Amino acid sequence: MRTTINGVSALAIGCFLTVASACDFDVVNPGPVQEEFLVDEAAQPALVNGMGRALAEAQNWLGYTSAAVAREIHPSGSTGSFGISQEWQRGELAFDEVDTHWNTGQRARWLAENGIGIIRDAGEAQPGLLAKANLWAGYANRLLGEMMCEGVIDGGPRVAHTEYLNRAEANFSAAMAGGGTVAMAATAGRASVRAQLGNWSGAVSDAGSVPSTFSYLLPYYSTEGDAQRNRIQFASAAEPYKAHSSWNTWYQNYGRSTNNPAGDPRMPYLLTNQTGDAATLCCGQVDWWPQQKYPDSGADIELSSGAEMRLIEAEDMLNTGNWQGAMAKVNALRAAAGMAPETANSAAEAWGFYMREHGIETWLEGRRLPAFRRWSANGVDMTLRHPLEQVSPNGEQGDGSHLVQQDLCFPIAESELDTNINLR
């Protein structure tokens, strides 16, 4: 196997370390990198780290856009760089608007799965590398399985989106052999995948092994480059963008801010006297009230948590009619956050409280739209969600969310349709 990279030749780089006049400064493509360099002991950790960076970039794109469509945030600015396009503002995920989302997601999956093969074939250079590679592959496949309407594997034909979820389940199972934090994250990741697949007994079994205090984070860094920094934060950092706001979301009245100090601390946002940096499709310029869950562009994003495991247990109880047990799970999460308990008098009310708690615990983590998809597919009454999470009765110009529609998954992208002969 050969993997090709482009760059400056080693000879040219070396010239900068010697006398400039003795060097030829022509830039040369060094050609294919031999596989033995990739599987060298020193290269394997970098290979695994690269999997994490690719996942972070995909999470940036899919998490941000899905947050707009799920109305975890409201558009307040530009539609270009780091903005929310007019289609996404309406709730539309069109095939010709999601190339970057598709490509970054597929790249994260391919790098992780291909890297697993390299390490396995060459022999693991350091203990735990293979488990960590499987963990990244699991999260990459989960991201695709939760977000994509259909799947394609390496230029092949269409497959069901559940192909990614099945691959994620296998990856997480393999990662559990690594022990420690990686194994716990893999267990939590597998629980979430099993829930999305409808394997509730398996999901609850895994969830029960994860303590409520557990948290596994995807790292970001305050630096240049979209694969390094937190895109959701950077798009609302004022300098240079004020692209989204907590204005006109249900989080506005529920989350904690200066005018609501008793609000939920898990959903902080900042009140300002400013407006967004451009007119929105629905409303012109709107108030800019940026989220504060991610205070800087180096803020990490949670991939799995014990709180999510308690939500999985609660959802299983709701599915089987034990809404009282589900409310006990919900109120335990609220107590841990310092919030007062809620009282439900029916299964429908319990579903409403559960949906809200799910939105609180997973706010801006790229998990809300996939939950909508799962609930809708399972026949849950989606009107139990807050009205500002639903399609507006009067469309973009009316009251409410300003959503004209709400697509629950990303289609196969135009770039894939144009280049994949199996899709023509």
* 10 and 142 co-located in one domain: no
pLDDT tens profile 124-143: 989 999 999 999 999 999 99
Asked whether residue 339 is assigned to any structural domain, the reply reads yes
Strands 255-256 and 264-268, bridge-based pairing = parallel
Asked whether residue 223 is assigned to any structural domain, the reply reads no
State the pLDDT at residue 32: 56
State the pLDDT at residue 21: 37
Instruction: Please state, in angstroms and rounded to a whole number, the distance separating the CA atoms of residues 172 and 138.
Output: 5
State the pLDDT at residue 25: 37
* 53 and 71 co-located in one domain: yes
Entry pTM? 0.91
For residue 128, the one-letter residue type is G
Written in H, E and C, the secondary structure of the chain is CEEECCCCCHHHHHHCCCCHHHCCCCCCCCCEEEHHHHCCCCHHHHHHHHHHHHHHHHHHHHHHHHHHHCCCCEECCCCCCCCCCHHHHHCCCCHHHCHHHHHHHHHHHHHHHHHHHHHHHHCCCCCCHHHHHHHHHHHHHHHHHHHECEEECCCCCEEECHHHHHHHHHHHHHHHHHCHHHHHHHHHHHHHHHHHHCCHHHHHHHHCCCCCCCEEEECCCCCCCCCCCCHHHHCCCCCCCCCEECCCCHHHHHEEECCECCCEEEEEECCCCCECCCCECCCECCECCCECCCCCCCCCEEEEEHHHHHHHHHHHHHHCCCHHHHHHHHHHHHHHCCCCCCCCCCHHHHHHHHHHHHHHHCCCCCCHHHHHHHHHHCCCCHHHCCHHHCCCCCHHHCCCCCCCCCCCCECCCHHHHHHCHHHC
pLDDT tens profile 13-31: 333 333 333 444 344 455 5
* 56 and 154 co-located in one domain: yes
* 369 and 248 co-located in one domain: yes
- CATH number where 312 lies: 1.25.40.390
* 267 and 300 co-located in one domain: yes
* 174 and 198 co-located in one domain: yes
Burial of 223 (0-12, 13-18, 19+ CB in 10 A): exposed
Asked whether residue 106 is assigned to any structural domain, the reply reads yes
Q: Which residues pair with 269 in a beta bridge?
A: 291
Instruction: Please state, in angstroms and rounded to a whole number, the distance separating the CA atoms of residues 393 and 347.
Output: 26
Handedness of CA 220, 222, 226, 228 (dihedral sign): negative
* 388 and 346 co-located in one domain: yes
Residues 402/389, Cβ–Cβ less than 8 Å? no
Residues 65/102, Cβ–Cβ less than 8 Å? no
Q: Give the domain extent around 10.
A: 2-38
* 267 and 371 co-located in one domain: yes
Instruction: Please state, in angstroms and rounded to a whole number, the distance separating the CA atoms of residues 104 and 51.
Output: 11
Averaged confidence pLDDT in the chain? 91
Please count the structural domains in the chain. Answer: 2
State the pLDDT at residue 8: 32
Of 362, 318, 381, the C-alpha closest to 344 is 318
Residues 322/313, Cβ–Cβ less than 8 Å? no
Contacts of residue 90, Cβ cutoff 8 Å, sequence gap at least 6: 281, 396, 403, 404, 405
Each residue's pLDDT, cut to its tens digit, for the chain (424 residues) gives 333 333 333 333 333 333 333 444 344 455 555 555 556 778 999 999 999 999 999 999 999 999 999 999 999 998 988 999 999 999 999 999 999 999 999 999 999 999 999 999 999 989 999 999 999 999 999 999 999 999 999 999 999 999 999 999 999 999 999 999 999 999 999 999 999 999 999 999 999 999 999 999 999 999 877 779 999 999 999 888 999 999 999 999 999 999 999 999 999 999 999 999 999 999 999 999 999 999 999 999 999 999 999 999 999 999 999 999 999 999 999 999 999 999 999 999 999 999 999 999 999 999 999 999 999 999 999 999 999 999 998 877 778 999 999 999 999 999 999 999 999 8
State the pLDDT at residue 256: 97
State the pLDDT at residue 80: 85
State the pLDDT at residue 12: 34
* 8 and 97 co-located in one domain: no
Instruction: Please state, in angstroms and rounded to a whole number, the distance separating the CA atoms of residues 150 and 160.
Output: 5
* 34 and 98 co-located in one domain: no
* 54 and 173 co-located in one domain: yes
* 32 and 57 co-located in one domain: no
State the pLDDT at residue 30: 52
- 72, 258, 290, 360 from 267: Cα distances, Å: 10, 13, 11, 7
State the pLDDT at residue 240: 84
Asked whether residue 187 is assigned to any structural domain, the reply reads yes
